[in-house]
Amino acid sequence: MPTIVVLATSNAGKLSEIQRIVGNSEVEFVPQSQLKVPDAIEDGLSFVENAIIKARNACHHTNLPAIADDSGLEVAALRGAPGIYSSRYADGAGDLANNEKLLQVMEGRHDRAARFVCVMVYMHHAEDPTPLISYGFWEGQVANRPAGENGFGYDPLFYVPELNCHSAELDSAVKNRVSHRAKALANLKAQLEQHKILT
């Protein structure tokens, strides 16, 4: 019998990525929407707090182990903003408005260093005092103008020096190999293996 692990996300893209990188015949990942888990209130002040809140909420409502993630864009010159508020930087007006606001705030700034951050958390149960926590970073810069049609969020404005293009110009297969999420997932997989949760 495979171990069932709840995924505290309803994003189909993330589900299949987690399945592909971490999945094997011993674990069955079930999205929390299938188990009628209500959304958690993400009122943490860091990525890691929010990921733990989401994983704990999924464990609490299912009595099963859970994996949750939280991610966003940190801009060095803005002391890490938009950070945990990345998805609602322009007060919930959507990706385009978020990108426009970021461009406006960065106008005239020379230090344009930025990074995408992803935190993944695994919890055995809701009271687990030692959640497994992994980080993934993807270093880049806030470009002066958007480019590319792929991806979502800040991908059009995220310039990746190592690939000399914007994240939204990358094929999804390439992005899934190099992104913050890919790195966090690879690290979580290693931790799950080390703790014999995955073999």
Distance of CA 134 to the CA centre of its chain: 11
- Residues with a catalytic annotation lie at 70
Q: CB under 8 Å to 1, separation ≥6 — which residues?
A: none
136 touching ligand IMP, by CB under 6 A:
no
Q: Check binding of 159 to ligand IMP (CB under 6 A).
A: no
CB of 167 to ligand IMP, least distance (A): 6
Length of the chain counted residue by residue: 199
- CB 25 to ligand IMP: min, Å: 27
- The size of the interface with ligand IMP (CB under 6 A), counted in residues, is 15
Assess 90 for contact with ligand IMP (CB under 6 A). Answer: no
Q: Does 179 contact ligand IMP by CB under 6 A?
A: yes
CA atoms of 63 and 130, how far apart (whole Å): 17
Q: Compute the least distance from the CB of residue 142 to ligand IMP, in Å.
A: 12
Binding positions for ligand IMP, 138-157, rule CB under 6 A? 151-155
- In angstroms, what CA-CA distances link 160 with 51, 73, 99, 172? 26, 13, 16, 14
Closest to ligand IMP by CB, 24 vs 172, is: 172
- Whether residue 32 contacts residue 7, with contact meaning beta carbons closer than 8 Å, is answered with yes
Sheet holding 66-75, edge to edge: 27-31, 3-7, 66-75, 113-123, 132-142, 158-160, 165-166
Residue 72 interacting with ligand IMP (CB under 6 A): yes
Query: One symbol per residue from 51 to 70: x for binding ligand IMP (CB under 6 A), - otherwise; what is it?
Result: -------------------x
Whether 80 contacts 47, CB under 8 Å: no
Kindly state the smallest distance separating residue 127's Cβ from ligand IMP, in Å.
24
Record the tokens describing residue 107, joined without a space.
């106008």
Q: Which residues bind ligand IMP (CB under 6 A)?
A: 70-73, 86-87, 98, 116, 151-155, 167, 179
